[in-house]
């Protein structure tokens, strides 16, 4: 249950928000033309973007760009609370702030557009910045547009002077140049993750019905049939080549349970996975 959800807006757009919850929750965000800075004060969450899934522990931050973001939140075991602070940074703000920095960013030899999220532990200065933002939620009367603009610029410059400055620079350059994950890349990146079609559709910025139609057009198969096929083929390869247990192979191939996996495997290949694995045990 969400206990508290406060927002601070600028030009009718949410810039800062904080969420406090005492239960497991899932939060869906449509980034559109925004980058997101997310800090977890209590508990932890799993961040799901079009290209990856990563856990962000308590006290850590994540900086994301892309079309959509899903946060699966888990309260702290000690106090039963989950709290996160989110900063929305639109494309225009990034362009204004970094106008004179992009020549240097573009010349970087370590650019990598295969990721859309950076995580890590904030330094002391960044942590003080986050604590300062939290004070504004309790004192909204002192907030003016000029302060909001300055605070957005401040976090961008702090990130570009952090230990992960080159990664941040690459991520921002890709974002400003509209280098986003394609539909196919998003699907392929999550084939072996336990993720629902609703969540996959959200990551592709589509309704479920639109996602299914687009999927059929590209893959000439329904999402369910294609994903099961790929997961079963992946598990078959792992059974023959790895030392992993059948439980681990099932989970690592995206199946929720061994019983479900075993049933589907036998339907597809006519033999249980345990028996199939035994044929390779001496090789």
Please, which residues bridge with residue 46 across strands?
55, 72
Closest CA to 133 of 143, 121, 119, 120: 143
SS (H, E, C) 102-135: HHHHHCCCCCCCCCCEEEECCCHHHHHHHHHHHH
Q: What is the pLDDT of residues 124-156, one digit of tens each?
A: 999 999 999 999 999 999 999 999 999 999 999
Band of pLDDT at residue 122, cut at 50, 70 and 90: very high
pLDDT of residue 182: 67
CA 210 to CA 277: how far, in whole Å?
Answer: 39
Closest CA to 25 of 41, 7, 45: 45
pLDDT of residue 212: 92
- Contact by Cβ (8 Å): 105, 160: no
Instruction: Express as a percent the part of the chain with pLDDT over 90.
Output: 57
- Contact by Cβ (8 Å): 265, 259: no
Task: Find the mean pLDDT for residues 182-198.
Answer: 87
9's enclosing H/E stretch is strand 2-10
pLDDT of residue 99: 64
Closest CA to 151 of 169, 165, 137, 170: 137
70: three-class secondary structure by DSSP: strand
pLDDT of residue 177: 65
179 Cβ contact list (under 8 Å, min separation 6): 113
Separation in Å, CA 250 to CA 151, 233, 278: 46, 11, 16
Domain ranges of the chain: 2-176, 183-278
Q: What is the pLDDT of residues 227-269, one digit of tens each?
A: 999 999 999 999 988 889 999 999 999 998 899 999 999 999 9
Q: Which fold has domain 2-176?
A: Jelly Rolls (2.60.120)
Closest CA to 50 of 70, 77, 35: 70
Q: What is the pLDDT of residues 21-34, one digit of tens each?
A: 999 999 998 877 78
Band of pLDDT at residue 170, cut at 50, 70 and 90: confident
- Lowest-confidence range among 12-21, 53-62, 183-192, 274-283? 274-283
Give this prediction's pTM.
0.71
61's enclosing H/E stretch is strand 61-65
199 Cβ contact list (under 8 Å, min separation 6): 48, 70
pLDDT of residue 109: 46
Mean pLDDT of all residues in the chain? 87
Q: What is the pLDDT of residues 38-68, one digit of tens each?
A: 999 999 999 998 888 999 999 999 998 877 8
Closest CA to 155 of 87, 99, 59, 56: 87
pLDDT of residue 120: 93
Task: Find the mean pLDDT for residues 73-97.
Answer: 91
Tell the CATH superfamily of the 183-278 domain.
Homeodomain-like (1.10.10.60)
Please, which residues bridge with residue 28 across strands?
70
CA 151 to CA 19: how far, in whole Å?
Answer: 19
Residue 97 predicted with pLDDT over 70:
yes
93 Cβ contact list (under 8 Å, min separation 6): 149, 152, 153, 156
pLDDT of residue 100: 57
Band of pLDDT at residue 278, cut at 50, 70 and 90: confident
- In this chain, the answer to whether the domains covering 2-176 and 183-278 adopt an identical fold is no
- Lowest-confidence range among 78-82, 132-136, 156-160, 179-183? 179-183
Band of pLDDT at residue 108, cut at 50, 70 and 90: very low
């Amino acid at each position: 249950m969400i206990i508290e959800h406060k927002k601070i807006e600028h030009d009718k757009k949410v810039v800062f928000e904080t969420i406090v919850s005492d239960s497991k929750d899932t939060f869906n965000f449509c980034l559109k033309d925004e980058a997101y800075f997310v800090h977890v004060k209590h508990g932890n969450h799993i961040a799901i973007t079009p290209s990856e899934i990563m856990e962000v522990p308590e006290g850590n931050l994540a900086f994301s760009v892309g079309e959509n973001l899903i946060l699966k939140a888990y309260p702290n075991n000690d106090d039963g609370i989950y709290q996160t602070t989110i900063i929305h940074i639109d494309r225009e703000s990034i362009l204004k702030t970094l106008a004179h920095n992009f020549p240097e960013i573009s010349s970087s030899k370590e650019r990598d557009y295969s990721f859309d999220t950076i995580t890590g532990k904030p330094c002391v200065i960044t942590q003080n910045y986050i604590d300062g933002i939290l004070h504004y939620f309790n004192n909204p009367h002192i907030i003016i547009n000029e302060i909001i603009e300055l605070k957005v610029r401040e976090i961008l410059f702090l990130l570009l002077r952090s230990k992960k400055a080159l990664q941040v620079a690459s991520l921002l350059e890709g974002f400003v140049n509209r280098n986003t994950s394609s539909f196919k890349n998003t699907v392929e990146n999550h084939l072996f993750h336990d993720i629902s079609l609703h969540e996959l559709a959200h990551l592709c910025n589509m309704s479920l019905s639109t996602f299914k139609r687009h999927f059929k057009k590209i893959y000439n198969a329904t999402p369910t049939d294609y994903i099961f096929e790929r997961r079963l083929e992946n598990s078959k390869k792992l059974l023959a080549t790895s030392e992993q247990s059948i439980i681990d192979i099932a989970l690592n191939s995206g199946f929720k349970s061994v019983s479900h996996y075993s049933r589907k495997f036998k339907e597809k290949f006519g033999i249980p996975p345990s028996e199939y694995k035994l044929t390779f045990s001496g090789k």
